[in-house]
């Protein structure tokens, strides 16, 4: 039995694993999943190179009988993080044929995947869990929360469209839409595609899309949605400024003869409820993806903090899946940045699991919240005030799947 990178001869076996485990999913080479054999178009040299590059991110477990039984896909992506862009590795396609399950093979694959990320200097990872409990064992933790707002159409009557025009969006608007989406997404910590995938249609199949065109002819906001059973459902809701947001809310109100309710799914820090001013609206909280710090010093160095802060504290991090993170780190705070260095001859001020550190780094929870809830073990209370000021809550959101 061995873990290795996939090769071109593994395509059919990998496709069989993925189709067995994810029968409702369509796989394509553009997403890094095993592509179907090209039988409708001649494979070009560029297509061949893309396939080979995709395989450098695919890990498989070859069983004693020579069969491929398990598969993990590392998806190279980019993360918006504290106003900058950083490499992020998503985890997808975690799959095992039933005859090879419950032997620890998938856990081995994920451990190896973390090693690959570390060697490729990737500090962050995210995934969509089939089980939060399972991926916690791998060092991942809850990092995104969504609010699903059920808004009666009457609540949207207060908004007006006093600038620009509404336009039905097509493939021709794809580039403009992604520019708006990325400007919006940069306000949050979380992964985002920086450019559209060539093979993906816009708007997505069975969805509608409308945008607000400003007086300058540029797209200032847009929404992708569905109308079914007297209800509009929208998750992709992006805008450059508050004016565009108000106009989009007015646009939804124009459907009051078609729908009674708008179900709008937004990040937990979204201000739509404040704009509506009705605290009695139905709001349902939903857990989003999980996050993980792959490299402690690199992730801490990426954080942007107040330039007024100075000092330091020692963190002891437990991380069984990534031993390079485990141990004591002296975290120095200076000039709006953090620097983490190994230190072995001093006792830690605070002891944290990699799961809790990951939540702190992303900004999903803050230092005081973590301490007050008993999820950090303290040995030196003197370090608490600086720790709480360094790890502040910041908005997190993740719209893409992988």
pLDDT in tens, 188-199: 999 888 788 778
pLDDT tens per residue across span 100-112? 999 999 999 999 9
Tell me what pLDDT residue 24 has: 53
Tell me what pLDDT residue 214 has: 83
- In whole angstroms, give the CA distance from residue 92 to residue 301: 27
Mean pLDDT, range 249-260, rounded to an integer: 96
Q: How many H helices and E strands in the chain?
A: 11, 20
Higher pLDDT: 29 or 305? It is 305
**For the chain, how far is it from start to end, CA to CA, in angstroms?**
27
* Both structure tokens of 127: 């995934």
Tell me what pLDDT residue 66 has: 87
Q: Which CATH number fits domain 2-122: 3.40.1160.10, 1.10.3720.10, 3.30.300.210, 3.40.630.30?
A: 3.40.630.30
Statement: residue 123 has pLDDT above 50: yes
Tell me what pLDDT residue 41 has: 61
Statement: residue 30 has pLDDT above 90: no
Fold topology of 147-287: Aminopeptidase (3.40.630)
With contact defined as beta carbons under 8 Å apart, do 312 and 330 qualify? yes
Tell me what pLDDT residue 1 has: 62
Tell me what pLDDT residue 144 has: 97
pLDDT tens per residue across span 146-194? 999 999 999 999 998 776 799 999 999 999 999 999 999 999 999 888 7
Q: Where in the chain is CATH 3.40.630.30? A: 2-122, 147-287
Q: Which CATH number fits domain 294-390: 3.40.50.300, 3.30.428.10, 3.30.450.40, 3.30.1050.10?
A: 3.30.1050.10
Alpha carbon of 187 to those of 105, 267, 273, 369: distances in Å?
38, 11, 18, 22
Where are any strands of DSSP class E within 174-289?
190-191, 208-213, 219-228, 231-239, 261-267, 282-287
- For residue 362, the SS3 value is helix
Q: Where in the chain is CATH 3.30.1050.10? A: 294-390
- In whole angstroms, give the CA distance from residue 252 to residue 79: 30
Contacts of 226 (CB under 8 A, 6+ apart): 206, 207, 208, 232, 233, 234
Tell me what pLDDT residue 244 has: 94
With contact defined as beta carbons under 8 Å apart, do 221 and 212 qualify? yes
**Is the pTM above the cut of 0.75?**
yes
Statement: residue 33 has pLDDT above 70: no
DSSP secondary-structure letter at 383?
G
Mean pLDDT of the chain: 92
DSSP 11-61: HHHHHHHHHHH-TTPPP-GGGTSPPPP--SSPPPHHHHHHHHHHHTTEEEE
């Amino acid at each position: 039995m061995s873990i290795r990178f996939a090769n071109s001869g593994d395509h059919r076996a990998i496709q069989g694993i993925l189709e067995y485990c994810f029968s409702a999913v369509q796989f394509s080479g553009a997403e890094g999943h095993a592509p179907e054999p090209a039988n409708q178009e001649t494979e070009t040299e560029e297509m061949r190179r893309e396939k080979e590059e995709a395989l450098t991110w695919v890990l498989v477990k070859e069983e004693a009988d020579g069969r491929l039984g398990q598969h993990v896909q590392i998806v190279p992506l980019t993360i918006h993080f504290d106003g900058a862009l950083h490499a992020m590795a998503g985890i997808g396609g975690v799959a095992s044929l039933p005859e090879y399950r419950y032997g620890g093979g998938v856990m081995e694959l994920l451990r190896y995947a973390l090693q690959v990320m570390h060697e490729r200097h990737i500090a962050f990872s995210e995934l969509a869990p089939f089980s939060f409990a399972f991926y916690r064992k791998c060092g991942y933790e809850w990092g995104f929360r969504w609010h699903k707002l059920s808004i009666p159409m009457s609540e949207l009557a207060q908004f007006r469209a006093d600038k620009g025009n509404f336009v039905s969006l097509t493939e021709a608007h794809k580039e403009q839409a992604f520019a708006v989406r990325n400007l919006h997404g940069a306000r949050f910590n979380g992964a985002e595609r920086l450019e559209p995938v060539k093979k993906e249609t816009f708007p997505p199949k069975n969805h509608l899309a409308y945008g607000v065109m400003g007086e300058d002819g540029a797209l200032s906001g847009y929404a992708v949605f569905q109308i079914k059973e007297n209800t509009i459902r929208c998750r992709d809701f992006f805008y450059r400024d508050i004016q565009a947001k108000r106009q989009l809310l007015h646009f939804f109100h124009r459907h009051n003869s078609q729908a009674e309710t708008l179900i709008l799914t937004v990040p937990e820090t979204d201000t739509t409820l404040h704009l509506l001013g009705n605290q009695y609206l139905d709001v349902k909280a939903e857990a989003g993806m999980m996050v993980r710090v792959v490299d402690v010093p690199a992730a801490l160095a990426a954080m942007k903090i107040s330039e007024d802060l100075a000092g330091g504290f020692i963190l002891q991090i437990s991380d069984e899946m990534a031993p390079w993170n485990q141990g004591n780190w002296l975290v120095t705070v200076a000039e709006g940045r953090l620097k983490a260095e190994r230190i072995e001859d001093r006792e830690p001020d605070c002891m944290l699991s990699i799961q809790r550190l990951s939540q702190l780094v992303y900004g999903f929870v803050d230092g005081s919240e973590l301490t007050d809830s008993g999820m950090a073990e303290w040995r030196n209370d003197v370090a608490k005030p600086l720790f709480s000021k360094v790890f502040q809550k910041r908005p997190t959101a993740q719209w893409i799947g992988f």
